[in-house]
Structure 1
């Protein structure tokens, strides 16, 4: 049977580093005023005050009288770290004369308070904050009730977070903070790495205790226990060499060394239980002896100062090991008689890690930090412009590929007469777009059927012109006849000019109009003859819809294997797939534009402490998956077009597509010829209508002149009549008088 867990709840937490008071408000505000403006400093007053409060709270949190809760201190440290990242990218803090050189960060070593570091750069401040964040997480882990499954789960989570904080310190800040003469061991790369391993060991230890409580198999418990031991062994290795071997109390070294031995022995014990069930007695004995020896060796070599509870746990486990060892040896001597292998020949115990450092990148991501956001140094603005150019180049290149892909598909389909030939099979006939538009223009104008009405309009206008001409001529003729009568009647007394002399110009114009009308009548006759002669040709334009004039693509009359439906179905399926690929391309282009719209890396540029090129490579990689999808889409389209080409060749062969295309071309040409002839006739009719309208205006004008002339002559006629009559009356009077005198 498995003995109860011999582990102990004795674990370590890390104390926070302590600092001295520091005023960040005044130096930073002066820098803003000097390099930007007083107005900018006023606008950023809230941010400056917030930073001041963060620093003040950090100082109090590290003091012994701090009453803030651990979660609140955790949040404070995280917020302050992100604020420091915003400060780092905007405020150069260094001994340089042109920088903020009045700020010195001072922090004491967490493990040896007599040592301190003072630096005029922000790296020490950031390192200390990260260290304290890990320390607070470790204290939170130690504060949970680890006598329950849920308490151990929560504790494990806190230790994992602590490991993440120390790992983040090691990988991002520790090296920078350790540069120079004034530094402390606690924020070194070596110490941060050791603390990460220690926190992982305690997190895995909580998992092991829960696995025992849940009744997991001895084999599983052995693997989990062995990983606990490995984590402690890694921490012990770091504590055993410089610079840590002379920095930590002996009690620390004793605790870690005994824990490493304890969990190795625990793994041996759990593994031996599984071996016993398998009746592998020889290895069981060897594993039990190995566990006992590890505990014994640890007691001899470890420094003094370990907690009594830990020593009691070792004694309890050793008793369980010896009990099982004695039993196994008796069984082997009596029953199995197997040779026990030496410890050196045993394979390493299997281990299984169920914990890893929490990723702190998101938790400590300062790219969304709004503090001092309005301050954009010139180098950041230039870097942003460079990145924007990179994004634009990606968008432009991919957009061109998408457009070329769509154009290629259109051209290839047009070369194969697709999808028109498939649509024709279903009765969905269509004309080329330009030809369709020409036909619609003809039909809107009335089409060939409307020419009769226009010809009638020509005839009507001609008649009106002829009538006007006759009326005008009759007016002049009537006036001339009257003038001749009076001239005959009165002889030489009728002295006014003859009408023919005065109307010569008008008559000449009327004669020209008559000649024009005669010529127009001949043109009209030719137009009507052309309409009659080409009525059959143009009748196709009166078909509604015009597509009804096209021949249909018929299925073969005879089929040997009846595969037409399958061939047509496969081709239709491929065309639908091609449409889907086209729709995907449109969606991918929209995705690229939307990603660019949301792509704001300025906050990351402002908080980045590494190479801009490294950041650019990481950020531009966001577009890689869309670029890959575009490449896959275009490759899939190319393969699909080859497939469609093969399917279309088979379709064209079975359905005799060449003859169908030839008949279509004939109809197209007939329609084109009909349109051409219609336009020719229509143009001639329009010219005729225009001619008659113009001529009518001219004749009307001449008619008015003639009317004026006739009216004037009529007035002259009356006046002359009166004059002639007076003359005649006078002569009669003279004659009478002469007779009287005689």
Structure 2
């Protein structure tokens, strides 16, 4: 027999809850005064918009719910509750003189309007708002058309939300509102629990109606219906005990009682249909008899105010039960002849819970609430500091574990010479990092091949310095020859000092430069021989890549069991797994840092009304899974390293790693020796370059002084020749009587006419000649250029440069003598001083 659909009249009978009523209350001025007295007037002005928003919300709550649509009313209550949570964490509202003590909340009981409660605590306000939110959800549930599938689904969701709201009220605010204060019964723990069960019963009832509509099996429908009856039974039990007994209207008690009996019978009826299909006729008959008896007892004394639709549904269900019982008994008597079991031996019908209260923690979470966000109480700031210390300790501990794990892997691989040994087998030998950096520095600077070019620079500089010395010496010789010629021509009348007297110091310096240059040339030869003799050793540094100079690791010539490839493959796979674990640790460390950066619990601290320790445990729990992953990673690495050690021993024995390592060490020492010899030769060449450049500057300076001297002597020579000629012609006889010495006119004012020509052409000094080779290295930071007048350096790198530096007696190191040339004259103003 097919299962008939549940009477449509019965489905329309469900309960909704009316909202609580309240009296007007002023929140704006008390809260503003508190901000001014505890913070500042400026802070109160900054929070003016927040105060106005809170005031408007409270005024909207005071209005009747009929003024707004139900969804708008629901949203208003949710937002106001979150605003109250923000207010609670920042404004202490109580009768204490230091608190906000001028606010009193008044609320009436939703089921007995004459009962009301007044409190100076925010918990009564929050309890009432939660109650009204649950009531609005229940009212929304009745607005859907439950004759359609979608309407029943939406209605079920609304009742689930109402159940979740009442459960949130029971668990979070009911006890706080009742502590030490008078409150109404409707927001008590018992009433909130009863309303939660009632809303769940109606949500499960919608699910049962949908199951019948879509043709679910009788067994499934029986389980769902049984749970509906259980929910109603739990609500009925709460209504029959204090403080709810005598508090609700009799129609509520009648409704819940009949609904419980109806759905228990419906579950029994659906179960009997399933038993009939399975031909378990004996149990079917026993359950039908029990169900008919229970319905008859429920009808004997029906509660007052019972809905006619529910009674009609019970009568129809009773009639169906009797028809099925009569049919089952006839079939059993004629066909099955089964024994009817006792009612007491029947197991309880199973139930299937299809609905659960909606979790309202996220819906009513005020951690993102922006109202009064700038007000941070001292207690919240201290709690945040404590939490930060806890998180920092977690991060630090886990970071240390990760670093220790990475260091352990690095050291273990280094001890086993991995993965270098495996890379060497593939032809990719690797130098130690420090040695590779030294080789790279040598190659960047040009390598040993560049030393030949630098030696050529030394030869060019030596030639240039030699040419400068020769040019300067020629100037001295020419000037001395001219002076000797005129001295021979004029005899005693030629009274100016001899050239050898004036140029003695400069000549001595040139001689010393020549000696130094000769010694430097000898040192150049030694340096060239050193580079040539060691070029074969240093040539290894020019190998690119340098790893190609290292020995190679090859398979054994004679294979014993031909499993070399398997050994290498297993080891490489383990190394890849180890690398993967290392990358995973890096990701976990980044994840920890990112979680800490985003972990801002100040809003939750501000809205928390419970113990901070409980909140800390809840918030730090999110780090638990990362800590577990870190622990698992380190354990996996520990086991993997043990496997790699065993695999590496087998690998080393198969490929004779010890001989390979010895060959590598020998090659490393050869490269180190080549680097040392290169640096030695490079340093000596650099010292030589500095010497030649400094010597060139010094010779150029002497040459310039020689040019100045020759020019001055030429001017004086011309003037003296003119004076001597005047004496010889008698034109200056009287002047000769008045002076025994010659008065040389100033070099800047020669006394001759434009038609006069000098007796000989005055040689012009050649321009200074300097050659600076490009330096192979940039100047070091803070290094000063060598002085132009002299040179002095520290001990050279190459012993051949010893003794090449010169300073005149009494001269300070690093300076060069600058002699003054003074020629005697009767008139002191005619002296020519060369600086």
1:56/1:694 CA distance change after superposition, 3 Å: closer
- Output aligned runs, 1:91-130, within 5 Å: 91-130=91-130
Is 1:36–2:44 an aligned residue pair?
no
CA distance in 1, matches of 2:403, 2:609: 39
Q: 2 CA distance for matches of 1:483 and 1:26?
A: 114
Q: What is the aligned partner in structure 2 of residue 15 from structure 1?
A: 18
Task: Output the CA distance in 2 between the equivalents of 1:49 and 1:501.
Answer: 107
Cα distance per residue 1:166-200 (max 9 Å; x no partner): 11111111111222342111111111111111111
Aligned positions of 1:307-322 closer than 5 A: 307-322=307-322
Whole-angstrom distance in 1 between the partners of 2:407 and 2:705: 69
Gap change, CA 1:466 and 1:136, over 3 Å in 2? closer
Work out the CA distance in 2 between the residues paired with 1:679 and 1:249. 105
1:103 CA drift (Å) = 1.7
- 2:50 corresponds to: 47
Distance 1:713-1:160 versus aligned 2 partners, 3 A rule: closer
Mapped to 1, the partners of 2:651 and 2:607 lie a distance apart of 63
**1:105 and 1:118 in contact (8 A); partners too:** yes
Q: Please state if 1:58 is matched with 2:47.
A: no
**Counterpart for residue 640 of structure 2:** 640
**Deviation of residue 609 (structure 1)?**
1.0
Give a deviation string over 1:211-234, Cα, whole Å, max 9, x none.
Answer: 122221111111111111111111
Unmatched segments (≥5 aa) in structure 1: 731-742
Alignment of structure 1 residues 489-508 onto 2, 5 Å = 508=508
> Conserved in 2, the CA contact under 8 Å of 1:6 and 1:316?
no
Cα contact 2:6–2:209 (8 A) shared by 1: no
Contact 1:264–1:294, Cα closer than 8 Å, also in 2: no
Give the stretch that moved more between structures: 31-40 or 668-677.
Answer: 31-40
User: Helix, strand or coil: the match of 1:448?
Assistant: coil
Alignment check: 8 A CA contact 1:190 1:238 kept: yes
Cα distance per residue 1:249-287 (max 9 Å; x no partner): 232222222221221122111111222222222211211
How far off is 1:503 after superposition?
A: 6.6
Query: What residue number does 2:585 align with?
Result: 585
> Hey, which of these two has a bigger chunk of helix by percent?
1
- Residue 418 of structure 1: aligned partner: 418
Paired with 2:577 and 2:476, the residues of 1 have a C-alpha distance of 84
Secondary structure class of the residue paired with 1:534: helix
* Deviation for aligned residue 1:488: 10
Contact 2:541 2:671 in 1 (8 A): yes
Aligned-residue offset at 1:627: 2.4
Contact 1:109 1:116 in 2 (8 A): yes
Match of 2:325 in 1: 325
Task: Report the equivalent of 2:280.
Answer: 280
The answer to whether the Cα contact below 8 Å between 2:228 and 2:260 also exists between their aligned partners in 1 is yes
Residue 350 of structure 1: how far off its partner (Å): 0.8
Give the C-alpha shift of residue 709 in structure 1: 7.1
Rounded Cα–Cα distance in structure 2 between residues aligned with 1:514 and 1:503: 16
**Contact 2:3–2:270 (CA<8 Å) still a contact in 1?**
no
- Structure 2 partner of 1:357: 357
Alpha-carbon distance in structure 2 between the residues aligned to 1:159 and 1:714: 123
- TM-score by length of structure 2 reads 0.80
CA distance in 2, matches of 1:36, 1:525: 88
Match of 2:519 in 1: 519
Equivalent position of 2:236 in the other structure: 236
Deviations 1:83-102 (A, max 9, x none): 21122112221111222222
Partner Cα distance (1:345, 1:379) in 2: 62
What's 2:192 paired with?
A: 192
Q: Judge conservation of contact 1:137–1:159 (CA < 8 Å) in 2.
A: yes
Larger RCO: Structure 1 or Structure 2 (Cα < 8 Å, ≥ 6 residues apart)? 1
Aligned to 1:89, what secondary structure does the other structure show? helix
Worse overlay, 243-252 or 164-173: 243-252
Q: Which residue of 2 aligns with 1:738?
A: none
Q: Per-residue CA shift, 1:30-65, capped at 9, x if unaligned?
A: 222332333333333332222222222222235xxx
Q: Are the counterparts in 1 of residues 108 and 115 from structure 2 also a CA contact under 8 Å? A: yes
Gaps of 5+ in 2: 731-835
Cross-structure match for 1:736: none
Preserved CA contact (<8 Å) 1:265 1:290: no
Distance change in 2, residues 1:86/1:710 (3 Å): closer
State the alpha-carbon separation in 2 of the partners of residues 215 and 564 from structure 1: 68
| Structure 1, 709-718 or 207-216: larger mean CA deviation | 709-718
Distance 1:308 1:569 in 2: 83
Is residue 532 from structure 1 mapped to residue 532 from structure 2 by the alignment?
Answer: yes
Q: 1:721 to 1:295 in 2, by over 3 A?
A: closer
CA distance in 2, matches of 1:714, 1:144: 125
State the aligned residue count: 727
Q: CA deviation at 1:357?
A: 0.8
Give the TM-score, by structure 1 length.
0.89
User: Residue 442 of structure 1: SS of its match in structure 2?
Assistant: helix
